[in-house]
Amino acid sequence: MTKAHTTLDELKGGAFKRTASAFRNWIKKGSTEFPPVAGRYHLYASYTCPWACRCLAVRELMGLQDAISLSIVHPTWQRTRPDDAEDTHCGWVFHEEAKGPVTSSTGHGSIPSTDATVDHLFGKRTLREIYELSNDTLGKYSVPVLFDKERNTIVNNESSEIIEMFAKEFGEVAKDACPVDLFPADKEAEMREVDEKIYHGLNNGVYRVGFAQTQEAFDTAVDKVFGTLDWLEERLERSRYIMGDAMTQTDIRAYVTLVRFDPVYVVYFKCNKKMIREYPNLYGFLRDMYQNPRIRRSTNMRHIRDGYYSSHPKRSEFPIVPPCSTNLELPHDRATREYCEA
C-alpha cells in the first residue's frame, strides 16, 4: 500500500508530474461485468475539481440525473485520519449544509457547507474510506469516482473515460437528454489530437504552473499554458465551438479549466500573463458555455473559489478567499456572428 498522498506531492525535480488514475474498468453495452443499468452506479464528485466537473456536466447534458446517483464532497480538504497523529493526509470529506461551516485543516476560517452532501451510499465521513472499501493500493483519493453499488467497488476514477461512458453507453437509460453528439465519429480522430493538446497545455498545464517548485519548471509551464490559450483563441475565431459548429466533449474539457482561470488560476497558480476576459473569442466561448443551463448547473463558483483557497495547507495556512467578478452572464454573439474561414 502506497502512503496516502495528494496531487501536491506529485513532484519530480521541482516540476509537477501527475500520477495516472488507478481504477480503469469500463461500463459497456452488452457487458456482463459492468452493464449500463439505471440506478446501479453512483458518482462521487466535487464542484471544486475541474476533472469531476467534466463528469457533472456530461451527466447533466445526457439526462442521467435519475440513472446515476450523486454525492458532493465539501470544497475544503480535511484531515482524513484526524485521530492518527502520524497520518497527516488531507483530502475530500462529506459534510452537509445542516452541519454548518467547517474550518480548514490548519484550524482557520469558516467555509460554508452549502451544496455539499453526505455520502449517500454508506454514510462515510471521507472519500478515502470509499477507496479503502475498494481495496485501493495507490493512496491518492481523488474525484471523480464512479462506484458500482452491486459489486461494491469503484469502477473508474479517470474523468476522460467516465464522460465517454456517460455519452456513449447510457443512452437507453437517459431521460430528457440534450440533443448533442459529444463524440461525433467523423471528428473523433482529430478530436483526440485536440484533446491531448488541451490536456497538456491547459487542463494539466495550469497545475504544472501552480505546483512548480523551481523557476525553470514554472517558466516552461507558464509559456505552454499561454501558448495553448493563444492557439485556442485563434481556433475559436473560425467557429462557435472548438471542433466546429456543434458542441463536443472537447468544449467541456476546455470549459472546466477556463471557468476557473480568472477566479483562481490567475492568482493562486500565478498564471497572470493575461486573463481570459482579455481574449475576445475565449471569453465569448466561456460565456456561451456557462449560459447553457445544464452546464451552468454543474458549475458552482462558490465551491471553486472556496476549495482552492482553503484546501492546501502546504500552500496557504489561512483560507482567505478573494472576490472575483467573472461576469459570465454578459451577452455574447457566439451563436449569431459570422466566422472566419480556416
Active-site amino acid positions: 49, 207
Helices (H), the chain: 50-61, 127-133, 159-169, 188-198, 205-210, 215-235, 249-260, 266-268, 280-290, 293-297, 301-310
**Which among 42, 57, 50, 17 has a CA at the least distance from the CA of 307?**
50
The pairing of beta strand 90-91 with beta strand 78-79 = antiparallel
Q: Which amino acid is at 233?
A: E
Check the CA dihedral 255-335-228-263 and report its sign: negative
Coil, helix or strand for 241?
Answer: strand
Q: What CA–CA distance (Å, rounded) separates 104 from 102?
A: 7
Q: Which amino acid is at 210?
A: G
Residues with Cβ within 8 Å of 183's Cβ and at least 6 positions away in sequence, in order, are: 164, 167, 168, 191, 248, 249
Q: What CA–CA distance (Å, rounded) separates 179 from 177?
A: 6
Q: What CA–CA distance (Å, rounded) separates 222 from 274?
A: 11
DSSP secondary structure of 102-123: B--TTS---B--TT----TTT-
